[in-house]
Amino acid sequence: MNTYNIPDNAIITVAGTVGVGKSTLTAALAKRLNFQTSLEQVDHNPYLEKFYHDFERWSFHLQIYFLAERFKEQKKMFELGGGFVQDRSIYEDTGIFAKMHADQGTMSKTDYETYTSLYEAMVMTPYFPHPDVLIYIEGSLPSILTRINERGREMEIQTDVSYWEHMHGRYSQWIGEFSACPVLRLNIDDYDVNDEDSMSAILGQVGKAINRSAVTK
């Protein structure tokens, strides 16, 4: 246990739309807690760029790839006994991305059903304890678009703004209905990853969210 009352074996997951600041916050929190990070690999993903050029052709391949990667990460966190900050949750893969492409018709009904049954089978293994807390980062669409542009991944910059707008809307609805674990909502205008007081305040809120839920369990 540390000064924030966050157990050493906690799993803290950071969620939010593309470009909102998950990886940056994940690294900043893990450093302060002396936790390990579980990061999403973008550079070595063999489908991601292809997917942005042709959603219909590659959406199923990409979802299976992400599912496999997240499963390996879940297994690692489970085997090492926690103490992780995780960049994005598996709940977003299924509840945002796969569903959005299925609803839009860029993933076929059969592919979506195959994906969902595989996801459900994986979640029923012991490797899937819910996170102790999910930090949800939110911000205005214009600020997020600015960040996507500044980060400079060409495949994302070339993607129509309507894609990010649609995703932004889906995220707001999704988090309103999310109940798998305690949620801490953060607005991007309300913290600074380079400011010690700001990071301490977030960690204090994380500790409180975890302990509140432990009392009500």
Ligand X SMILES: Nc1ncnc2c1ncn2[C@H]1C[C@H](O)[C@@H](COP(=O)(O)O)O1
73 binds ligand X (CB under 6 A): no
Q: Tell how strand 133-138 and strand 183-187 pair up.
A: parallel
| 202 vs 182: CA distance, rounded Å | 14
What mask, x for binding ligand ADP by CB under 6 A, covers residues 23 to 62? xx--------------------------------------
Residue 165: DSSP 8-state:
H
Closest to ligand ADP by CB, 115 or 136: 136
Number of neighbours of residue 121 by Cβ within 10 angstroms: 9
CB of 208 to ligand X, least distance (A): 26
Stretch that binds ligand X, among 25-33, 62-70, 126-134, 172-180 (CB under 6 A): 62-70
Nearer to ligand X, 98 or 181 (CB): 98
DSSP percent split of the chain into helix, strand, coil, nearest 5: 60, 10, 30
Q: Token pair for residue 182?
A: 């305690």
| Residue 69 engages ligand X in binding (rule: CB under 6 A) | no
Nearest Cα residue to 11 out of 27, 30, 24 = 30
Q: Should residue 22 be labelled a site residue for ligand ADP when binding is judged by CB under 6 A?
A: yes
Residue 116 in tokens: 């969902």
Judged by beta carbon, residue 125 or residue 146, the one nearer ligand ADP is 146
Q: Does 182 engage in binding with ligand ADP (CB under 6 A)?
A: no
Q: Does 58 bind ligand X (CB under 6 A)?
A: no
- How far is the C-alpha of 85 from the C-alpha of 213, rounded, in Å? 18
What is the footprint of ligand X within residues 82-121 (CB under 6 A)?
A: 88, 93, 97
CB 168 within 8 A of CB 141: yes
Region of 63 (left: φ > 0; alpha: ψ -120 to 50; beta: rest) is alpha
**Measured distance CA(115)–CA(33) in Å, rounded:** 35
Q: How far is the CB of 49 from ligand X (least distance, A)?
A: 9
Verify whether residue 87 is a known catalytic residue: yes
Find which of ligand ADP, ligand X, none residue 150 binds, CB within 5 to 8 Å per kind: ligand ADP
* The one among 73, 132, 138, 156 contacting ligand X by CB under 6 A: 156
Closest by CA to 146, choosing from 124, 164, 130, 123, is 164
Would you tell me which residues interact with ligand ADP (CB under 6 A)? 16, 18-24, 147, 150-151, 188, 193
**Active site (catalytic) residues:** 87
Would you tell me which residues interact with ligand X (CB under 6 A)? 18-19, 22-23, 40, 42, 48, 62-63, 66, 88, 93, 97, 156
